[in-house]
Amino acid sequence: MMKSGQLLSSWQIKINNTQNRKELEKIRIKILGRKGLVNQLLAKITQQPPSKKKEFGRQINKIKKGLFTAIKKQESKLQQESKSQGQKFDPTIPTLKPPLGKKHPLSQTIEEIADIFEKIGFIRVKYPEITTDWYCFGGVNVPPDHPSRDDQETFFLENGLVLSTHTTSGILQEIERVKKPPIRMLHIAKCYRRQIDIAHTPMFHQFEGWLVDKNVSVAHLKWTLDYFAREFFGIKRVTRLRPHHFRYTEPSFEVDITCGACLGNGCRFCKEGWVELGGAGMAHPTVLKNAGLDPKIYSALAFGWGVERVFAIRTGIADIRPLFKNNLDFLNQF
Ligand code: DAH
């Protein structure tokens, strides 16, 4: 009876492979039925030599028990499966929810910036990314030989068209649209320059504010910048203005914000407590004149900053390029 182990396991495999209770029942009859395997084996006892009869009987019993347990086990397994299959097809069970997407961090940031400025009356507008040399450069007082026009920086198209390099290209179009001050423009758009490194991408976003009215002063500009700094970066942050030079503003400033890590005391993340945000100033008289406004009557405050830059400063990301790669592990952090 050397083969009793093999016999047992080959039938166990057959039992375990049954797909439904009908198949299992057929096998049960083959094993335990009147003419089944167990009875056939029992019939062979008489043919055994007397010395082996006892052992033969024990082996048969072992097979019988083993197969009996295997059948019971398989029976309850099939029962479980048919129960859960029943659930799968229950039409009243709600479907699985698909994973929810969300807005790209830059889209979220743009909406937030628009909300902050809309609260103080700036109206969000968007002018074409393909624009004229006049709106982008000449009209805002950028002379023909200025470095920003260099084809190392600007994507030139045909017929005097360019890919807008900054959102300042919106101001003449906005004055032409509204015609008469007061004007409170918030121009948020894509900009394009031939640059790529950790802080620059060939396509990026800027937001540009212009307030054109009578008696607009640097004090209004400073208040507006501090208001944005507090709303966007947090209550403890303030800005400072450093003299600078832009063609469309006089005076011009570079705007710094107190460092988020040391709040102005100085640390290894910042320049002596300050982080550079972007440019600002008071409208150059020529720009107002180019839009048909009298610079003796009207003045304007202006600022233009990078969306990616303020986002990077707030979140502390060192490299902005992953914002434009579709790696959800990175994007889902924000
Ligand atoms: N256009 C400038 C740039 O792209 C930013 C800028 C500076 C905009 C000063 C302004 C301003 O409105 O007043 O770097």
Q: Per-residue DSSP letters for 157-223?
A: -STTEEE-SSGGGGHHHHHHHH-SS-EEEEEEEEEE-S--BTTB-SEEEEEEEEEEETT--HHHHHH
pLDDT score, position 263: 86
Query: How high is the pLDDT of residue 98?
Result: 86
- Pair 205, 235 in one domain: yes
pLDDT value of position 53: 87
Claim to verify: residue 134 and residue 24 sit in the same structural domain: no
The residue to which tokens 């700094």 are assigned? 229
End-to-end CA distance of the chain: 70
Residues in the chain where the model's pLDDT stays below 50: 1-2
Centre of ligand 1 from the C-alpha of residue 168, in Å: 6
Q: Which domain holds residue 76?
A: 4-84
Under a CB-based contact definition with an 8 Å cutoff, are residues 274 and 258 in contact?
A: yes
Ligand 1 pocket test: which of 187, 246, 247, 301 has the largest number of ligand atoms within 8 Å of its C-beta?
A: 246
- pLDDT confidence of residue 6: 85
Same domain membership, residue 116 and residue 72? no
Give residue 31's pLDDT.
92
Tell me: do 73 and 109 sit in the same domain: no
Q: 3-class DSSP state for residue 266?
A: coil
What does the pLDDT read at residue 2? 45
42 token code pair: 């029992």
Residue of 117, 169, 208 to test ligand 1 pocket, by largest number of atoms within 8 Å of CB: 208
Q: What is the DSSP letter of 237?
A: -
pLDDT tens digit sequence for 148-164? 888 778 999 999 999 99
> Both 224 and 176 in a single domain?
yes
Please tell me the total count of domains within the chain: 2
The ligand 1 atom nearest the CA atom of 281: 13
**pLDDT on residue 240:** 95
pTM value? 0.72
DSSP structure class, residue 19: -
| Beta strand 123-125 pairing with 183-192 | parallel
Q: Tell me the C-alpha distance between 202 and 45, whole Å.
A: 90
Residue 312 and residue 197 in one domain: yes
Please name every residue paired with 282 in a beta bridge, in sequence order, or none if there are none: 301
